[in-house]
Amino acid sequence: MSAAYNAMELMICCAARLLEDGRTAAIGTGVPCAAAMLAQRMHAPHLVILFEAGGVAPQLPTMPISVGDSRSFHRAVMATSMADIMETCRRGLIDYTFLGGAQIDPYGNLNSTCIGGDYARPKVRLPGSGGANDLASFCWRILVVTHHDRRRFVEKLDFLTTPGYLTGPGAREAAGLPPGSGPYRVITDLAVLGYNDETKRMEVYSLHPGVSLAQVRAATGFELGVREPLAVTEPPTPAELLLLREEVDPHRYVIGRC
């Protein structure tokens, strides 16, 4: 098998490596599902997956196409409801969640509501929060997987849909959200980013192979810090690619989107 890989495969592998065995993760379909399935097959067989529609700890032979797909309940511990999943989240029992949006700011806040400053008459109306606000508020670690460009990575959101670190240190706690919770990593087609422990602003943790820091900064609409020593992202291994292509996404529903 060729060792070549595309950007989507790299992002999925990076996300999968962050999911530890024995943890819980609220995921959606697409990239999050592919990452969770790969993690279970590689190093985290006891990773507990929860789908928003109610599937708890399913065994996924193939990738569901929606959170309500019957496959998201396959051999699950429970087939419950969205209310129970959100209550589990509110009780502090979910370690990771994957979220996304049209915009992300330096503190990991997300916009999935509208583009344009006028909420009543935006340039673009987006789907809205769904369960993203709830999950970001009460899950312990927020993961974002997205393409990297200046339209997404902005200094100020057009609308705050989903809380990250809000305005900076102490802001989540002041808003009544659990201490120690919040944004964890942002995985893009250029780099892996995290957050400064003191300022809570986004910074570069590792550059993907062949990518320069100047490229990442040029694709970002705000000032980025750097976590020293700045690393180079480990590329997908042959074992990861084999599982991803042959078992997780053999029809290229996700890894073909590049």
Q: What digits encode the pLDDT tens for the residues 122-154?
A: 999 999 998 999 999 999 999 999 999 999 999
Domains of the chain: 7-248 (3.40.1080.10)
Q: For the CA atoms of 242, 209, 16, 87, what is the dihedral angle to 10 degrees?
A: -150
Query: Model confidence over 8-17: pLDDT tens digits?
Result: 999 999 999 9
Tell me the average pLDDT across 55-73. Answer: 91
52 is catalytic: yes
d(CA 194, CA 115): 25
> What tokens appear for 55 in the block?
């599937």
Query: Model confidence over 157-169: pLDDT tens digits?
Result: 999 999 999 999 9
9, 52, 203, 240: the catalytic one is 52
